[in-house]
């Protein structure tokens, strides 16, 4: 049987999102995808918006599973990043949610849904399918962090500075910077050559956040950064916080694209892809986006943000089964298939340069994939994106403060104390 993709707009229960792009992946048997009279078990899977290459791979995985199990039919809905977060928040604890959902695995996102009992503990499936031996230790970090087994690893994502080799050469830059001072010097040389050093978009807080997170890791070091993220250190009392916000302001004034606060992520990435900016902070998922855009991957390089700590900026992503799913056994069977060695081997490099399956080697799909294993291998662990560590309200305040510093509404010296004031007030309300 052959799969079909239908793309249409849908208004979901309780107005989950204003605009939803729904992609239905199904094996046809003469019935419409919305039909429930075909005798099959229907599973819904929610995920963030996929690039063409990722969508094609997901289509193949779903179609392959449905050939393996013709009694199950899978509907996949994809949404933009923030719309996906909103849909999951608003549907949690209601029958409107999916059977399976993709989500970021950090304590502030996936962990927050675990705390609200949205996720099903999958211990029995880990034992049934031998998943305890399937996945790499790093990818399991936030699967077991909340008690039991919450979710199935999907990717382990690293982030770094993608750079345009031709623009570096035009500015006379012959090597990538390995210290923060060298990175600033690189930005100055690019600026002097009339080249935008770094593209970012301020309409989404998480994009600028990547720069701020890396600056905090640089100025505070690994131990203090972790203590700040977990609430064991005060943002008001660590001088390195002021230093990080001071550096953020300098980047905003000198090294970011003009009008970046009114630029969204796609517009910023387009500047990089079109050769109008020399660098962008992205993750290894960006490898396929570069090739999808028709860019020669050999013209692009990537290096870890030179924080001085040796850690990789990154996070994990997982597939979760909803606690309210009516078909958890069938959902687990699909995830067993999707993370199996043959399927992962066929798709390594689509979502990440490294597979979460321990039996699958690194991707050799394109030149960018091959640059990531040394970044992971040379690291001393991960430092998480702040929106992975913080709950939603704290993340929103973090973004508000970073934007206030960049726009001049708040001094760098006031940023740390203001954030700590918010945290203290939040804790008093509990």
Number of domains in the chain: 2
Q: Is the pLDDT of residue 28 over 50?
A: no
Residues 299, 165 share a domain: yes
* pLDDT score recorded for residue 93: 79
Q: What are phi and psi of 411, to 5 degrees?
A: -80, 150
pLDDT of 379 reads: 66
Residue written as tokens 């309409």?
203
Same domain, 353 and 275: no
Q: How high is the pLDDT of residue 366? A: 87
| Residue 167 placed within a domain | yes
376: in domain:
no
CA distances to 16, 54, 63, 266 from 48, rounded to whole Å, are 14, 11, 19, 15
Tokens of 131: 């998943």
Does residue 209 register a pLDDT over 70?
yes
What whole-number distance in Å separates Cα of residue 254 and Cα of residue 251?
5
Tell me the average pLDDT of the chain: 90
Q: Please give the angle made by the CA atoms of 225, 83 and 74, to the nearest 5 degrees.
A: 110
pLDDT, mean of residues 328-333: 98
Report, as an integer, the average pLDDT of 395-403: 97
- Tell me what percent of the residues of the chain surpass a pLDDT of 90: 81
Model pLDDT, residue 36: 54
Question: What pLDDT sits at residue 20?
Answer: 37
Residues 66 and 87 in one domain: yes
Asked which of 5-9, 294-298, 364-368, 417-421 is least confident by mean pLDDT, the reply is 5-9
Question: Parallel, antiparallel, or unpaired for β 41-48 and 100-104?
Answer: parallel
| 65 and 340 Cβ atoms separated by less than 8 Å | no
Are 7 and 132 contained in the same domain? yes
Q: What is the reported pLDDT for 101?
A: 98
CA atoms of 202 and 399, how far apart (whole Å)? 10
Cα–Cα distance, 5 to 335 (Å, whole number): 20
**Is pLDDT above 80 for 6?**
no
- Alpha-carbon torsion, ordered 398, 312, 341, 295, to 10 deg: 90
Q: Which residues pair with 74 in a beta bridge?
A: 43
Is residue 145 in some structural domain? yes
Largest CA distance in the chain: 67
Residue 378 falls inside a structural domain: no
In a domain, 403, yes or no: yes
Residue 139 sits at the vertex; the CA angle it makes with 290 and 318, to the nearest 5 degrees, is 70
Domain of 218, CATH number, reads: 3.40.190.10
pLDDT, position 92: 86
Alpha-carbon distance 87 to 402, whole Å? 26
40: which strand partners? none
Tell me, yes or no, whether 185 and 279 share the same domain: yes
Query: Count of residues for the chain?
Result: 430
- Taking the model in full, what pTM does it have? 0.83
Query: For residues 163 and 167, what is the distance between their CA atoms, to the nearest angstrom?
Result: 8
Greater confidence (12 vs 117) lies with 117
Looking at the fold, whether 177 and 300 belong to one and the same domain comes out as yes
Minimal CA–CA distance to 161: which of 195, 206, 210?
Answer: 210
Cα distances (angstroms) measured from residue 42 to each of 27, 76, 104, 197: 11, 11, 24, 49
Q: What are the CA-CA distances from residue 425 to residues 40, 241, 299 (Å)?
A: 51, 19, 49
Q: Give dist(CA 111, CA 142) in Å, integer.
A: 8
- Confidence grade of residue 208 (pLDDT, cut at 50, 70, 90): very high
- DSSP letters, 171-236, are TT--S---SHHHHHHHHHHHHHTT-EEEE--TTSHHHHHHHHHHHHHHHHHHHHHHHHHHTSS-TT
Whether 173 contacts 184, CB under 8 Å? no
pLDDT at 405 over 70: yes
- Read off the pLDDT of each residue in 3-26 and give the average, rounded to a whole number: 36
Q: Judge whether 31 lies within some domain.
A: yes
Mean pLDDT to the nearest integer, 241-258: 98
Q: Are residues 208 and 293 in the same domain?
A: yes
- Give the residue numbers spanning the domain of 249: 159-313+385-429
pLDDT number for residue 375: 87
Residue 303 shares a structural domain with residue 326: no
Q: Residue 58 has what DSSP assignment?
A: H
Residues 6+ apart with CB under 8 A from 279: 161, 162, 163, 164, 197, 198, 199, 272
Q: Which residues pair with 100 in a beta bridge?
A: 45, 321
Give whole-number Cα distances, 263 to 48, 164, 207, 257, in Å. 21, 20, 10, 9
State pLDDT tens for residues 96-124.
Answer: 999 999 999 988 899 999 999 999 999 99
d(CA 235, CA 274): 39
Three-state secondary-structure class, residue 34? coil
* Contact in structure between 96 and 16 (CB atoms under 8 Å): yes
Tokens of 203: 């309409």
Q: What does the pLDDT read at residue 37?
A: 58
- Any bridge partners for residue 47, and if so which? 78
Q: What is the mean pLDDT of residues 50-62?
A: 94
Band (pLDDT 50/70/90 cuts) for residue 383 is very high
pLDDT in tens, 289-330: 999 999 999 999 999 999 999 999 999 999 999 999 999 999
Over range 249-256, report the average pLDDT: 98
Looking at the structure, tell me whether residues 37 and 176 fall in a common domain: no
Residues 111 and 240 reside in one and the same domain: no
pLDDT number for residue 128: 98
Asked if the structure places residue 48 within a domain, the reply is: yes
Both 53 and 183 in a single domain?
no
Residue 155: per-residue pLDDT: 95
- The span from the CA of 346 to the CA of 57, in Å, is 9
The verdict on residue 25 lying in a domain is yes
Of 28, 131, 48, nearest to 88 by C-alpha is 48
* Beta carbons within 10 angstroms of residue 252's beta carbon: 21
């Amino acid at each position: 049987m052959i799969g079909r993709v239908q793309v249409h707009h849908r208004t979901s229960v309780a107005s989950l999102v204003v605009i939803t792009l729904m992609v239905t992946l199904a094996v046809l048997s003469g019935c419409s995808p919305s039909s429930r009279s075909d005798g099959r078990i229907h599973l819904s899977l929610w995920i963030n918006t996929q690039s063409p290459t990722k969508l094609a791979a997901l289509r193949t995985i779903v179609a392959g599973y449905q050939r393996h199990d013709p009694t199950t039919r899978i509907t996949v809905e994809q949404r933009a990043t923030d719309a996906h977060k909103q849909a999951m928040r608003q549907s949690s604890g209601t029958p409107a949610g999916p059977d399976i959902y993709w989500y970021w695995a950090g304590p502030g996102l996936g962990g927050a849904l675990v705390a609200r009992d949205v996720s099903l503990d999958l211990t029995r499936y880990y034992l049934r399918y031998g998943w305890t031996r399937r996945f790499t230790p790093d990818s399991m970090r936030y699967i077991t962090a909340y008690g039991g087994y919450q979710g199935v690893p999907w990717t382990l994502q690293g982030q770094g500075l993608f750079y345009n080799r031709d623009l570096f050469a035009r500015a006379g830059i012959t090597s990538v910077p390995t210290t923060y001072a060298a990175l600033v010097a690189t930005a100055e040389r690019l600026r002097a050559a009339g080249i935008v050093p770094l593209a970012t978009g301020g309409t989404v807080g998480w994009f600028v956040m990547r720069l701020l997170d890396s600056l905090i890791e640089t100025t505070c070091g690994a131990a203090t950064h972790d203590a700040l993220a977990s609430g064991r250190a005060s943002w008001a009392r660590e001088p390195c916080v002021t230093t990080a916000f001071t550096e953020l302001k300098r980047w905003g004034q000198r090294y970011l694209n003009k009008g970046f606060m009114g630029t969204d992520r796609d517009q910023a990435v387009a500047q990089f892809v079109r050769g109008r900016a020399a660098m962008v902070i992205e993750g290894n998922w960006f490898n396929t986006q570069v090739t999808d855009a028709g860019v020669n991957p050999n013209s692009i390089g990537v290096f870890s943000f030179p924080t001085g700590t040796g850690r990789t900026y990154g996070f994990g992503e997982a597939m979760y089964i909803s606690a309210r799913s009516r078909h958890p056994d069938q959902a687990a069977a699909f995830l067993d298939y999707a993370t199996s060695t043959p399927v992962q081997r066929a798709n390594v490099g689509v979502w990440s340069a490294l597979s979460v399956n321990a039996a699958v080697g690194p991707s050799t799909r394109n030149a960018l994939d091959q640059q990531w294993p040394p970044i992971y291998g040379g690291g001393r662990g991960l430092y998480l994106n702040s929106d992975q560590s913080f709950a939603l309200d704290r993340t929103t305040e973090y973004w508000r403060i970073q934007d206030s510093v960049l726009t001049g509404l708040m001094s760098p010296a006031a940023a740390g104390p203001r954030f700590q004031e918010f945290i203290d007030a939040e804790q008093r309300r509990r």
